[in-house]
Amino acid sequence: MSHIITCLTCGTTNRVPAERLGAHPKCGTCGAKLAEAKVHEVDSATLRKAERKDSLPLLVDFWAPWCGPCRAMAPEFEKAARALTPHARLAKLNTQVNGDAAQRYAIRGIPALILFQNGQEVARLTGARPAAEITAFVQQHSRNRA
* Residue 85's CATH number: 3.40.30.10
SS3 117: strand
pLDDT mean for each 10 residues of the chain (146 residues) = 93 93 92 92 95 95 97 97 95 94 92 95 96 97 67
Q: Does 63 map to a domain?
A: yes
Q: What is the pLDDT of residue 1?
A: 84
Q: What is the pLDDT of residue 110?
A: 96
Q: Does 16 map to a domain?
A: no
SS3 46: helix
Q: Does 101 map to a domain?
A: yes
The dihedral sign for the CA sequence 120, 113, 59, 10: positive
Q: Which domain holds residue 44?
A: 37-141
Residue 70 a catalytic site member: yes
Number of domains in the chain: 1
Q: What is the pLDDT of residue 97?
A: 94
* Cα 27 off chain centre by: 16
pTM of the model: 0.94
Residue 30 a catalytic site member: no
User: Residue 39 and residue 135: Cα distance in Å, rounded?
Assistant: 13
Q: What is the pLDDT of residue 142?
A: 87
Q: Does 131 map to a domain?
A: yes
Q: Does 46 map to a domain?
A: yes
Helix 131-141 / helix 68-84 crossing angle, nearest 10 deg = 60
